[in-house]
A and B are shown apart, each in its own frame.
Chain A
Amino acid sequence: MTKLGQWLCGLALLGSAWAALALAPPGLQPPAPLRQALLPLPVYLLVAFGCYSLATVGYRVATFNDCEEAAAELQEHIKAARADLRRRGLRL
């Protein structure tokens, strides 16, 4: 199954469970406090996921390694490379 397929199945499952409980006709309804929490749940989850995403990406950007030594080392290597290549007859 494709990832899209997995998402659609998952959403369909959760969606129907939510609809069954939150939008049930009188008589089959769960107790009032549960219903009050259930109704806005999808929006809450969306917002929570949005916050999680921002926090995660923010954290990862902040902790993105800056390879200062790698850059310096590369400059050294470039110097050595050019000197050696010139010795071996490379005309740049």
Chain B
Amino acid sequence: RVSVLLPTYNERDNLPLVVWLLVRTFSDSGIDFEIIIIDDGSPDGTQEVAQQLEKIYGSDKILLRPRARKLGLGTAYIHGMKYATGNFIVIMDADLSHHPKFIPEFIRKQKEGNFDIVSGTRYKGNGGVYGWDLKRKLISRGANFLTQVLLRPGASDLTGSFRLYRKEVLQKLMEKCVSKGYVFQMEMIVRARQLGFTIGEVPISFVDRVYGESKLGGNEIVSFLKGLLTLFATT
């Protein structure tokens, strides 16, 4: 059984589409599932849309577990996991950059190698992106190269956030991880390796934001570098 954790903030347009795709993917592949929507008090009506979805698909499949304000991704996962009844947890973005069609592939990969974590990678195989200009690609590859040199993490895509975890593994990792933002995703993989967990990879396509604003700027880059150096010095 798979529990999908969907932290949302102002995803009123994308949320119904993501949920529809998830439901269709799971019913087509016969995988038992639940979707846990953790909304951080979005002012744009995301919660209202979520309630409609709960009515359409049933409250055993769509679990609304909102919070009062924007409290961050890490705590959203912790909060959502409390209600998860699946033995596998999928974390992904709710903005349609991650397509649910890859989830059955994650599961297949997990069974294949009995992996503790399956990570979607944009950098290997036929993984890739759509909607990125040269500058964005340069930053992405450059940052990833730096990360590979400094951390030698054994996974090709560290900042990706489309992953499948065994529930106990995610719980263990959440206890240990302290960073925020992109670095948080990196820290999960690094700590996982430290604790001896196995990681499998599946190429995914990342289609940049269909609706809404993306969140990458100078600030993000600076905090990424700070976080990378912190991981370098402490793990």
Contacts and interface: CB of A to CB of B under 8 A. Distances in A.
* Secondary structure of the A contact surface, majority rule: helix
Contacts, number: 91
Interface residues of A, number: 27
B138 A70 contact: no
A61 B17 contact: no
Contact of B127 (A2, A60, A65, A84): A65
Name the residue in B130, B138, B149, B151 with the highest tally of chain A Cβ atoms < 10 Å from its Cβ: B130
Given A3-B232, A66-B130, A90-B52, A61 B210 contact: no
A78 B209 CA distance: 13
A61 B20 contact: no
Interface in A47-89: 53, 56-57, 60-61, 64-68, 70-71, 74, 77-78, 81-82, 84-85, 88-89
Interface residues of B, number: 42
Interface of A: 2-4, 53, 56-57, 60-61, 64-68, 70-71, 74, 77-78, 81-82, 84-85, 88-92
Given A2-B234, A4-B232, A67-B206, 5 more contacts: A3-B232, A64-B123, A64-B140, A71-B131, A90-B53
